[in-house]
Structure 1
C-alpha cells in the first residue's frame, strides 16, 4: 500500500478538536479513511467536521467512555495534550494517565496500530519545560506504556516527537528526522506531524518507530513517506 491508497479500517482520533488533532482528521479525510473523533465537546466536533466524521463524546479520565469510543476501530491516533498545569487537564491526567488509559482500552478492543504525538526532549528531565508540571516526563511515561503494550507480532506503534509546533499547510518543507532524542531546537508544522501519523497506518517503515522530527528548509514535497526511510535504525 502507498500514499495514494486509503486505509481500510476505522481510525479513532483522540484530541481531534485540538489544533494538531484537527489536522489529523483533515489528513485522514484527505485519504478517504473513516474517522471517529473522541472528544469532550461534541458540538465543537460537529461544528468543525460536520457529518464527515463520527463523533463520540466522553472524557479521557473514563475508561468506560474510552471503551465505547474505541470499539470497532482498527487504529488509534492520539493527539491528546494537557491544557493546564493542574486539575483534570494537567499533564499527569492527560499526557500520562489519559494516554495510558487510551492505550489499554485500545489493546482490549483489538486495535492493531497506535500512533502518538509526543515531544522532542522527553528524555531530558532537566529540560525547562519540565518546570511546567513535569509535562515532558509525563509524555515519556506514556511513550513507554505505548511501546510496552503495542510491541508484538500482531500490534504496532508509531511515536512522533515533534519540535515546536506551528501552523501552516502540509508538504511545504523538507523534514529532518532523528532518533535518540538528540535534537534540542526546531519547529515543524502541525499539519506535517498529522501527515506522518496518518501515513504510519500503512507505511511499513513507520511500524514500531519512535523518532524526532523538525522542519529543515522550505521545499514542496510530493509525499512525506520517504522520510520514514531516513529514520536511523
Structure 2
C-alpha cells in the first residue's frame, strides 16, 4: 500500500481523524493533515505534512487538496450552532471539501458517517439535525464521486470508542438496518485506509459495528459481498 500518493485527512485532530493518520503512517502512505489552526498540529509527528484551513473556507480547501490522490474525511460537529454546528461541518463542510477534491482531480473520497443516518426520527436529530446533515453530505459525495473515474467509500459506524485496531471481529450491513452497537475508531480508520486499495470498497456505503473480541489479521473481509 506504500506506493499510494499523498492522502489528505480532514478532521485530522479529532480522535477518529488521529487514528486515520496513524493507520496511514502504519502503511507508509504519505499524509497531509488538515487542521483548523497551526497550534493544533502539535499532536502530529514530523512525518505528517500540515495544511491549515477551516472547512468554511473553500480557498483553503482548494490549497489543501492539491497534489493528493485521495481524501478521508473524519469531520464532525462539536456544537449546535455557529461554524462548528452540524449544518456547517457535517453537511456544508463535507460538501465543500468534496467539491474541492473533485475539482482538484482527487480520485477517491472516504467519509466517516454514522449508523442510523437515514432515520429522520432518531433522537440524535434533536442535536442540530446531525444525522440529517450527515445524510445530505453522503448523498452529495455519492453523486459527485461515482462518476468521472472517481470513487467513494462511506463508513457508518456505531457509537465510537477508543482502542487498538484489529482486536474485534467486525459486523457489517447495508440499508441502515442496524439499530445499535459500537465501533472502535481505530477500526473505522483501518477500513477507510483499506478502501484506498481495495476494488471491493469502491462506491460502497455500509454500516459496521464491533463484534466479538478476536484478533484480526486484516479487515479486508468487511468489503466482501457489499453491493
TM-score (norm 1): 0.96
Counterpart position of 1:91: 86
2:167 is equivalent to residue 172 of structure 1: yes
**What does 1:97-112 correspond to in 2, within 5 Å?**
97-112=92-107
1:74 and 2:94 are equivalent in the alignment = no
Residue of structure 2 in register with 1:145 after alignment: 140
CA distance in 2, matches of 1:42, 1:79: 18
1:43 aligns with 2:39: yes
Answering whether residue 194 of structure 2 is matched by residue 182 of structure 1, we say: no
In the TM superposition, residue 43 of structure 1 has moved relative to its aligned partner by 2.2
Partner of 1:27: 23
Deviation (angstroms), 1:213? 0.2
2:59 corresponds, among 57, 64, 68, to 64
Structure 1 residues 118 and 54, CA gap change in structure 2 (3 angstroms)? same
State the distance in 1 between where 2:107 and 2:191 align.
17
Q: CA deviation at 1:227?
A: 1.4
The corresponding residue for 1:16 is: 12
Q: Any idea what SS the aligned residue of 2:183 has?
A: strand
CA distance in 2, matches of 1:20, 1:212: 16
The alpha carbon displacement at 1:48 in A equals 1.4
Q: Structure 1 CA distance, aligned partners of 2:190 and 2:4?
A: 17
Q: CA RMSD in A?
A: 0.8
For structure 1, the 5+ residue unaligned runs are none
2:203 aligned to which of 202, 208, 212:
208
TM-score of the aligned structures, taking structure 2 as reference length: 0.98
Alignment counterpart, residue 191 of structure 2, candidates 189, 193, 196: 196
Question: Number of aligned pairs?
Answer: 227
Aligned-residue offset at 1:153: 4.9
125-134 or 35-44, which moves further after superposition? 35-44
Question: Given the superposition, is the C-alpha separation of residues 7 and 160 from structure 1 closer, same or farther in structure 2, using an over 3 Å criterion?
Answer: farther
Q: CA deviation at 1:66?
A: 0.2
| 1:230 shift after superposition | 4.2
Q: Answer yes or no: is the 8 Å Cα contact 1:96–1:138 preserved in 2.
A: yes
* Cα deviation, residue 41, structure 1: 2.3
Which residue matches 2:112?
117
Alignment deviations for residues 97-155 of structure 1 (CA, whole Å, 9 cap, x no partner): 00000000000000000000000001000000001010000000000000000002510
